[in-house]
Structure 1
Amino acid sequence: MKKEIPVEGMSCAACAISVENTLRNSPGVKNASVNYANHAATIEWEEQTISLNELQKKIQATGYDLLIEEIEQAELEEKAKDAFKKLKLKTIFAGILALPVFVIGMFWMDMPYGNYIMWVFTTPILFVFGNQFFKNAWKQTKNLSANMDTLVAISTGIAYLYSSFNTFFPTFLEAKGLEPHVYFEAAAVILFFILLGKTLEAGAKAGTGEALKKLMGLQPTDLIVLQNGKELTKKTIDVQLGELILIKPGQKIPLDGKTVEGESYVNENMLTGEPIPVLKSIQSKVFAGTINQAGSFVFEVEKISKNTLLSQIIDRVKAAQGSKAPVQKLVDKVAAVFVPVVLLIGLLTMLVWGFSGVDEAWLRGIMAMITVFVIACPCALGLATPTAIITAIGKGADMGILIKDAESLEKGIKIDTIILDKTGTITEGKPKVSHFITSEDCTELDRKAIFSLEKKSEHPLANAIAAYLSQENLEIKSFKSITGHGVQGIIEGDIYRVGNLKWIKSEGVTSNTELKNKAEKALEEGFIIVFASKNDHLIGFFMIGDLVKETSKEAITNLKHMGIEVHMLTGDQEKTAWLIAKSVDIEHYKSEMLPQDKAEYIKTLQSKGKKVGMVGDGINDSEALSIADLSIAMGHGTDIAMDIAEITLVHSDLNDIPKSLKLTKKSIKIIHQNLFWAFIYNIIGIPVAAGLLYPMFGFLLNPMIAGAAMALSSVSVVTNSLRLRK
């Protein structure tokens, strides 16, 4: 059996890995992958060996849950939203309470009743807002494993219990000549920052599920079926092959099929990425999710709901997201070894001191063990990644570069190949008039007449012509619009026509050799040509195209200087693709690419060992964006592209790509530095705390100094992260 089953209770990437490992290690499970993006596990198992109920119990034992009962998607989304809201509220309240504890613990240690105040504020942080760490740690312990939660629970729990004892029974240590120090600020701050990191991660991942939801929303839930000449409303999922569907102006096409009656222009931008709608006449293919323009038509269903091209895109995006299991953070990997080692060192420290024969041996042993646990607190580790991420994301936002999460930053440093979608990425993304080439006898009145006709036209290119001319509107008599050909009307007593040359000539208009030669040259340059005539002669033609952005060539040159190979993919025709690639100095390009072709192209590059970044702006790029090692969306593009993308360029300027890659490199360098110093601090601090220097120098680390050293390491990590602002 193979099935996708929702998972409840995951709050971070490490949770997904924990669930995945539990499933994979279960007898009878052939394969399992957990997708944190949509909170679901895809499991392949042998029913005769293990049942879903048994798998559910195994997952429940680790602190999560497999929702094996059928559940509505809306209910699942609601559960995920509620979980995120709760996590966010816990983080906010923990932060509010941690602030006064930190201020008192670091600056006003001798204030009256300071210890009691800190105890009051710290207690709810541990047992209300941070209780998940203690619950998860206990479940991990029962399963004979350890992770970051175990480390957090042990270190903060020990610091809290020791501090609470010294707060309520200070005379116990004072009678033995020892200072009863407290470490409430360590416990409070650690839990707050770990919660903050989990909230940032959960918030970043939430958008990925939104992308799938919006893709699914492209297919209408209801449609109009024609049966015996009557219009009947029906659910899209209930429609069968061969049924006839009526599509009215402005409607989304619900299924794949072929037209059998009527004609209209259809916007297929979500499939091809091209901005110019396509004329659909009898026997033309239509696809689910595309948008009808002005006309009406009837089409025959050739593919039902689950088999449409749009459904295939949704399935592939889902599969691509699921295949990219989040990389377990270095902290979590080390924690599996670090936690038992710290526990062992702490226990050995106490035993060695206890049997050493020195004065107050067992008390000194317990103090040394507590010092080990305090200095092992993962405060610097907890700060290392979140502070760098927050600073990098803030710096990126200032530059108009929106970065989703830490994983996005890490991917950016490995990219050696960038794939650019043509339309809307290299080019403006909408048809514009480049030039209006006129005959010598074309007057200002002729321009106004053409403008007036195009303002009334429903042709997809009419807006581009009207925007270019921007003239005074004139009164039109006998206006006609001939779908697929052009428009005509009588203005000031003259007959004006705007459309394709074949139609205009068929109306008795004589050709102009000079204009015709210029038009043929423009066609070779990849422009769409629209002619205009007055009475029986041509007066000019419009050169219309999707123009290259001013900064595109410069950005591509900068990427090449960084040693990055640049490719261009487009759904447009070969001639246009070649001209655009040539104009911006791109050697590698492919034309007439469907969404699945783009994804396959990326997979081919990845199979050759390339680390591929995909830059796109449309629904047609969504699968390619999901497959790529790093996905970048243009800010003016569709919400779906931006939801899937790990980096969004707000200004839709390709120059921001090299900037974002440089920012990711600097950010990861800072994170690695932070983790290095945090680990070095523990590697040096723990043996000293255990009493390694005592036999040679008589030096025994005071728990208060351990706390101060821990605070200093945290300050150094934060300061290092803030360097990213420069």
Structure 2
Amino acid sequence: MSITKRFWISLIFSLPMLANMILMPFGWMLPGGNWTQLILTTVIMAVSTVPFWQSAWASFTKHHSNMDTLVAIGTVTAYIYSIYAMATHQAVFFESAAFVTTFVLLGQVFEERMRNNASNAVEKLVDLQAKDAEVMREGKLVKIPLSEIVVGDIIRVKPGQKVAVDGVITEGTSTIDESMVTGESMPVSKKTGDKVIGSTINSNGTFMFRAEKVGNDTMLSQIVELVKKAQNSHAPIQNLTDKVSDIFVPTVLVIAILTFMVWYVFLGASVASSLIFAVAVVVIACPCALGLATPTALMVGTGRSAKMGILIKNGEVLEAVNDVKTVIFDKTGTITVGKPEVTDIVGDEEKVLSFATALEQSSEHPLASAIVKNAESKNIVVPEVSQFKAIEGKGVEALVDGQKVFVGNDKLLSDVQIDNKLREQVITLQEEAKTVVFVGVNNEIIGLIAIQDTPKNTSKEAISDLKARGLKTIMLTGDNKRVADAIAAQVGIDSVIADVLPSDKADHVKALQQDGKVAFVGDGINDAPALTVADVGIAMGSGTDIAIESGGIVLVKNDLRDVDRALALSKKTFNRIKLNLFWAFIYNVLGIPVAAGIFYGIGLSLSPELAGLAMAFSSLSVVTSSVLLNKAKITSRVKFA
């Protein structure tokens, strides 16, 4: 039976006893007296309280105690004693057992409703999907259900329609509202070759696109899955809460027994009065608020971040962010646009380009793509190659017309002579933030190709925001140091580690971790090890699947400014968890002495039912605190504590 149904049953059967308590001073008694209270409470015990007893017993058999242990002991004690008191014609307090159950369930209803709201916010994304699409089949456009679309289908999207799945535009231009997936409020212009995201809305213009990801592989489906996993994960601080509960519950039971003994043996109170104080201690100490502190904040925080286009994968990331001292950035595609272009060619242009393109045309590296694209625009004839060989972190070499040709960076030049004039040109180009590719034949440099990849418009602002938080920024790149320094100077990076082989990136991250926790931001396949090793891996949403899988945070909008927002929101969420835990602990610490009757002499005491009500509102306060994360302002330029 659901928590909500158990609560309503408990509330309905408790109301007659509540009326009895209120109206008794005015001469009204509940028909049937104690027998009616016994029947009403028994129904509540059998339907609403039994799950607490089952949970407590399951924990007991494993030599543990949990929050349900206190609820079970408190209600059973009140119920059984009331039956005994009824048989011996003493005062009963069936209402205490009934009201404690009702108020504990009230707190759980608040929790369940909050969880459902958080889950529904994510599930609503799924409802945004298009139900069907116009797909080209056998030369004709046919409307088919979303489930029948396959990779490679050509799909038409008219103004106002939703994009069915993820793909690439093959014909036409338009602007698309991507806010429901990326959080970007402004429509994004799209043209042939640009990627489109399923479930986004076409504003104007008709276009055709080729389906690349369908079903569970679409970005929307992956976002929903990631957020669900994050909301069901545990932050490491939750382990502390679990350990505290293991110690806290037995301690409370000892305090309750001592409370009974002090009142009954030393202060001369009746068994009933002494038992009321003991039961009140058990009920007020029930650490339900402790159990809610972490998961509620985690659910709200990750849900809000998803709406902003920032996917936080688990609670461990939230906690790690809190101690980050350094943010390390990959260069290409992260700080820079990632679409480099050839700017200068030194030497015989046709010969240099033809040899370079022959070796680079099978590579997917951004620099190789820039060379091939430039050669295609000039209709350069490309010769055949043989004995092709890739040299990690350096370049490629092969035989072309019987000659040994090599294309790569200066790490390939150990056995190659380069004259001073050419070397001066290299230095000049690198100081202009241009990457220089060397083209050589038979151990002789025949030319240079200068390629430039400019920083993103948002990079400088993003770095500035992080530095304003007191974080150190580092660029880690395989590019030449002069080029890296020039880019770093443009965007304001603190320091540069250049000429790094892809396989060595993770080692550099480990070395930097000696000075404190680090976050690594990257987007390429070669960034995956570094993303995994870093305390916080942040993957750009436009990056490769393996990089996104390796990162603990994914920036869907591919906006570098979201690094600062992600760190700020993670820190805000973790601080809310700590705030919730603080108030939950304080509530228990302050509540136990009052319930034990220490302040009884000045008229301050708590009956078990009032203790149960107070506990319910404690849970409500923690849930409310977590929900207020949705309203918390995520500010920039605030230093980390």
Q: Distance in 2 between matches of 1:602 and 1:166?
A: 64
Match of 1:648 in 2: 554
Match of 1:667 among 565, 573, 588: 573
Pairwise CA distance, 1:696: 3.7
User: What is the CA distance between 1:543 and its match in structure 2?
Assistant: 5.2
Structure 1 stretch displaced more, 407-416 or 653-662: 407-416
Distance 1:336 1:583, change over 3 A: same
Deviation at 1:519, TM superposition (A): 9.3
Over 3 Å counting, the alpha-carbon distance change for 1:330 and 1:380 in structure 2 is: same
Q: Deviation of residue 109 (structure 1)?
A: 3.9
2:342 equivalent to 1:342: no
Deviation at 1:702, TM superposition (A): 1.4
Deviations 1:256-287 (A, max 9, x none): xxxxxxxxxxxxxxxxxxxxxxxxxxxxxxxx
Residue type at the aligned position of 1:433: E
Choose from 384, 400, 403 the match for 1:481: 384
Which amino acid in 2 is paired with 1:572?
D
Kindly indicate whether residue 58 of structure 2 is the aligned counterpart of residue 135 of structure 1: yes
Residue 495 of structure 2 corresponds to 588
- C-alpha distance 174-401 of structure 1, shift in aligned 2 (>3 A): farther
8 Å Cα contact 2:114/2:623 also seen in 1: no
| Corresponding residue number in structure 2 for 1:77 | none
Amino acid at match of 2:62: K
Tell me what 1:102 maps to: 7
Of 429, 432, 454, 2:340 maps to 432
Q: Report the counterpart of residue 420 of structure 1 in structure 2.
A: 329
| 1:675 shift after superposition | 1.5
What amino acid does structure 2 have at the position aligned with 1:155? L
Deviation at 1:481, TM superposition (A): 3.4
Quote the Cα distance in structure 2 between the aligned partners of 1:638 and 1:459. 15
Alpha-carbon distance, 1:670 to partner: 1.9
Q: 2:589 aligns with which of 664, 669, 683?
A: 683
Q: CA offset at residue 482 of structure 1? A: 4.0
**How far off is 1:151 after superposition?**
3.4
For the structure 1 residues 485 and 342, does the alpha-carbon distance in structure 2 shift closer, same or farther, using more than 3 Å as the test? closer
In 2, distance between residues paired with 1:634 and 1:463? Answer: 20
The letter of the residue matching 2:555 is: L
Q: Any stretches of 5+ residues in structure 2 without a counterpart?
A: 18-38, 116-234, 387-395, 401-405, 409-421, 440-446, 632-641
Bigger RCO of structures 1 and 2 (CA < 8 A, at least 6 apart):
2
The answer to whether residue 98 in structure 2 is matched with residue 180 in structure 1 is no
Superposed CA deviations along residues 58-95 of structure 1, whole A, max 9, x for unmatched, are xxxxxxxxxxxxxxxxxxxxxxxxxxxxxxxxxxxxxx
Separation (CA, whole Å) in 2 of partners of 1:670 and 1:639 = 32
User: Shift in Å at residue 642 of structure 1?
Assistant: 3.6
Report deviation, 1:178: 3.8
Structure 1 partner of 2:625: 720
Seen in structure 2, the aligned counterparts of structure 1 residues 457 and 647 have a Cα distance that, compared at 3 Å, is closer
Are 1:150 and 2:65 counterparts?
yes
Distance apart, 1:348 and its partner CA: 0.7
Q: Residue 191 of structure 1: CA displacement?
A: 7.8
Structure 1 residues 179 and 671: alpha-carbon distance in aligned structure 2, compared to 1, 3 A threshold: same
**Are 1:152 and 1:191, in contact at CA under 8 Å, matched by a contact in 2?**
no
Offset at residue 457 of structure 1 (A) = 5.6
SS at match of 1:707: helix
Which digits, 9 at most, give the CA deviation of each residue in 1:605-653, with x for residues without a partner? 3434x33222233454444334433332222334444444332222232
After superposition, residues 632-643 of structure 1 pair within 5 angstroms as 632-643=538-549
Q: Following the alignment from structure 2 to structure 1, what is the Cα–Cα distance between the partners of residues 503 and 430?
A: 29
Whole-Å separation in 1 of the counterparts to 2:42 and 2:451: 76
- The answer to whether the 8 Å contact 1:606/1:612 transfers is yes
TM-score (norm 1): 0.52
Kindly indicate whether residue 260 of structure 2 is the aligned counterpart of residue 332 of structure 1: no
**Shift in alpha-carbon separation, 1:435–1:720, aligned structure 2, 3 A:** same
SS in 2 for 1:550: coil
How many residue pairs were aligned? 451
Instruction: Confirm or deny: 8 A CA contact 2:429 2:450 kept in the other structure.
Output: yes
Shift of 1:374: 1.1
Decide whether the 8 Å contact of 1:166 with 1:180 is kept in 2: no
Per-residue CA distance 1:182-236 (angstroms, 9 max, x = gap): 13345557789999999xxxxxxxxxxxxxxxxxxxxxxxxxxxxxxxxxxxxxx
Cα deviation, residue 347, structure 1: 0.4
SS at match of 2:560: coil
CA distance in 2, matches of 1:404, 1:192: 27
Q: 1:579 aligns with which of 486, 489, 495?
A: 486
Q: Which moved more, 1:641-650 or 1:556-565?
A: 641-650
Shift in alpha-carbon separation, 1:115–1:362, aligned structure 2, 3 A: closer
SS in 1 for 2:95: coil
Partner of 1:551: 458
Closer/same/farther in 2, CA of residues 595 and 152 from structure 1, 3 Å limit:
farther
**Once structures 1 and 2 are overlaid, which stretch shifts more, 383-392 or 540-549?**
540-549
In 2, Cα distance between equivalents of 1:621 and 1:106? 57
**C-alpha deviations, 1:552-599, integer Å up to 9, x for none?**
121111111111110111233334333332332223111232466434
Q: Pairwise mapping of residues 194-213 of structure 1 onto structure 2 (< 5 A)? A: none
Is 1:355 matched up with 2:233?
A: no
> C-alpha separation between the residues in 2 aligned to 1:684 and 1:341?
15
Q: Distance in 1 between matches of 2:93 and 2:278?
A: 15
- Name the % identity: 37
- Distance in 2 (alpha carbons) for counterparts of 1:600 and 1:457: 31
SS of aligned partner of 2:289: helix
Aligned residue for 1:614? Answer: 520
What is the Cα deviation at residue 110 of structure 1? 2.2
Deviation at 1:692, TM superposition (A): 1.4
Q: Contact conserved, 1:595 with 1:624, CA < 8 A, in 2?
A: no
Alignment of 1:124-523 (within 5 A): 125-126=51-52, 131=55, 134-140=57-63, 150-162=65-77, 176=91, 178=93, 180-181=95-96, 182=98, 183-185=100-102, 326=236, 329-355=239-265, 361-429=270-338, 431-433=339-341, 435=343, 458=362, 460=364, 463-464=369-370, 480-482=383-385, 522=429
Please say if residues 321 and 571 of structure 2, whose CA atoms lie closer than 8 Å, have aligned partners that are also in contact.
Answer: yes
Q: Distance in 1 between matches of 2:89 and 2:341?
A: 87
- What is the CA-CA distance between 1:705 and the residue it aligns to? 0.6
C-alpha distance in 2, partners of 1:195/1:722? 13
Kindly tell me: are residues 168 and 343 of structure 1, through their superposed partners in 2, closer, same or farther at Cα, counting changes over 3 Å? Answer: closer
- What code does the residue aligned with 2:538 have? I
Return the offset for 1:168.
8.8
Q: Quick one: which amino acid aligns to residue 276 of structure 2? A: M
1:331, 1:381 within 8 Å by CA — same for their partners in 2? yes
Alignment-derived partner of residue 237 in structure 1: none
2:2 partner SS:
helix
Deviations for 1:385-426, whole angstroms, at most 9, x for unmatched residues?
Answer: 111111111111111222233332222222221111223322
Aligned residue runs from structure 1 range 595-606, under 5 A: 597-606=504-513
Change (3 A) 1:544 1:602: closer
CA contact (8 A) 2:236 2:315 kept: no
In structure 1, list runs of 5 or more residues that go unmatched.
1-95, 141-148, 199-324, 489-498, 502-514, 532-539
**CA distance in 1 between partners of 2:549 and 2:281 (Å):** 44
After superposition, give the CA deviation of every residue in 1:315-364 in whole Å (9 maximum; x if it has no partner): xxxxxxxxxx95664423433542332122100111122225656x1122
CA RMSD of aligned residues (A): 4.9
Deviation digits for residues 444-467 of structure 1, max 9, x if unmatched?
xx9xxx9xx99x964656754676
**CA 1:710–1:629 in 2, change beyond 3 Å: closer, same or farther?**
same
Report the residue type matching 1:410 in the other structure: E
The one-letter code of the counterpart of 1:399 is M
